Chains A and B, each alone.
Chain A
């Protein structure tokens, strides 16, 4: 098989059933299939307990699926080799806290068979990139949560893999840290790397992802391109017109203004009537101050999917 042409991640019919207490069975994943192409940023959205971490743990070999298969760059995840071209950040990561960040990254680099020279160079680069350089010699037991999260990111970057699997990468980070992570993900995309990251924060997905998958109750209920979702979610426009001083806002093309705010009048215009409305505005010689797109954002899309697939709706 030509590994170079293989998708970054290919999941086929993946299922996982956990055995609970009193022989109860919990279906954490139900026949999930998805593909992440090389160079793609894939956001994996789902509410808590939806099966995001279970999927990721199957991908990195921490748990074995009950059925189905998954491959990283064409190599089955059951083989240790599949992890050579992958970097993984666990949710709420924890590392040998008696080691310093530098020692830990050296340990990680050695498992990827990096040479001593390569390791020294990459350690310096990623520690600086993640703003851990000054703390690199200190044992990690003295690190803040955000610093530990950044060490987690550093260990995924150290061997410069092609595929990144990040479980809630922004959790525990302050706004500056979140911005840094987003910047890193965008940079990875620019360099043709693939990133698969789970989150329940839709804004993160909207800003950095090419594609999004939504998982609810162990079932992948939607996979689509982010821009398609955003485009299909356009519901109309909010048009702001300047009205001459002292005159009441007029009804234009049958649309009455929502509200008047000083010299501005706001009109909620449905998509289907937008052209007719604008023609009437031009004909009346009205002054357009602002046109805003009114659309359902990713959060609305996500919430509606969760609502539709919830067993308690």
Chain B
């Protein structure tokens, strides 16, 4: 499987699309000057911008690498030669996933370092009222990376099902949007404002809340920006949730891909 991970990483590093996406990271250089547009919360704005930019780049990478990696292998007939080697399909699939996941984590680390530098530059010039919570910023970057690794598992599942890139790419984008809204929808349907809602609709919304991914618990931006202490118990639960959900997605993807005919 390490062999597949290695080849996957080589493929990503040599991909022009990846180079283009990473070029967006140049925008980090503009953060210090853009942050000064805020009159009072210069450092807070720099943290917001840095984390948002890092998150946006990781989203692009997760969608395009996750959604196209497997599809490209099938479309370009690479699978004919690779899957006829003594490698099980599940190992191939997990290797592909791990390669992309590892790359996302590496990219998050590099972009996170860029974010820290940008925030450091800004906070030196415009000291904030509260001390900068460096640990919370790093945690925000880490959990963002975890969220996108989770998203890649969905992309891999969709790729194992689909013969085109539409489902993997647009399905992954849809999951990203839905996963960011599930908690808000759940909170709404169980609030006083939704008292008049039909019970069936509420039950369906609750069921979907448990079935669909919930990305809100991965979002630590507020903790990072306003130095709100981290809830370690909650973070441990989020990691466990991510590991279990991702594993289930990959097992399902492997089962589907194992039966797929390479015509």
Identify the interface centre among B11, B81, B263: most chain A CB within 10 Å of its CB: B81
A-contacting residues, B97-143, CB 8 Å? none
Is the Cβ of B7 less than 8 Å from the Cβ of A96?
Answer: yes
Question: What residues on B are CB-neighbors of A255 within 8 Å?
Answer: none
Chain B residues 180 to 208 lying within 8 A of chain A, measured CB to CB, are none
Instruction: Map CB proximity to B onto A164-193 as digits: 1 under 8 Å, 0 otherwise.
Output: 000000000000000000000000000000
Map CB proximity to A onto B53-90 as digits: 1 under 8 Å, 0 otherwise. 00000000000000000000000111111011111100
Number of interface residues of A (CB under 8 A): 30
Q: How far is the CB of B81 from chain A (nearest CB, A)?
A: 6
Q: Does B26 contact A (CB under 8 A)?
A: no
Q: Does A92 contact B (CB under 8 A)?
A: yes
Complex CA gap A108/B78 in Å reads: 13
- Which residues of chain A are near B84, meaning CB under 8 Å? 60-62, 83, 88, 90
Contact flags B1-25 to A (C-beta < 8 A → 1, else 0): 0010011001100110000000000
Does B231 sit at the interface, judged by CB under 8 A?
A: no
Contacts A62-B262, A96-B11, A112-B86; A107 near B81 (Cβ below 8 A): no
B86 touches A62 (CB 8 A): no
Among A62, A94, A95, A107, the residue within 8 A (CB) of B261 is A62
Q: A18 contacts which chain B residues (CB < 8 A)?
A: 263
Contact A57 B3 (CB under 8 A): no
Contact between A103 and B3, CB atoms less than 8 A apart: no
State A83–B81 Cα separation when bound (angstroms): 12
Q: Are B85 and A83 in contact (CB under 8 A)?
A: yes
Are B7 and A107 in contact, CB atoms less than 8 angstroms apart? yes
Contact A98 B261 (CB under 8 A): no
Asked if residues A64 and B78 are in contact (CB atoms below 8 Å), the reply is no
- Residues of B in contact, count (CB < 8 Å): 23
Q: Is the CB of A93 within 8 A of B81?
A: yes
Across-interface contacts of B78 in A (CB, < 8 A):
94-96
Query: What's the Cα separation between A57 and B263 when bound, in Å?
Result: 8
Chain A residues lying within 8 Å of B88, measured Cβ to Cβ, are 80
B85–A62 touching, CB < 8 Å: no
Contacts known (A63-B263, A112-B86); A90 close to B81, Cβ less than 8 A = yes
Contact with B along A59-74 (1 / 0, CB 8 A): 0111110000000000
B81 neighbours in A (Cβ, 8 Å): 88, 90, 93-95, 152, 155
Measured CB to CB, the closest approach of chain A to B111, in angstroms, equals 23
Interchain CB contact (< 8 A) of B77 among A90, A103, A155: A90
CA distance A96 to B10 in the complex (A): 10
Partner of A83, one of B77, B80, B86, B262: B86
A-side contacts of B14, CB under 8 Å: 98, 139
Q: Which of A64, A88, A110, A139 contacts B3 (CB 8 A)?
A: A110
- Residue numbers of A with Cβ under 8 A of B are 18, 57, 60-64, 80-81, 83-84, 88, 90, 92-99, 103, 107-108, 110-112, 139, 152, 155
Given contacts A80-B88, A111-B86, 10 further A-B contacts (CB under 8 A): A18-B263, A57-B263, A61-B84, A63-B262, A84-B86, A88-B81, A88-B84, A93-B81, A96-B78, A107-B7
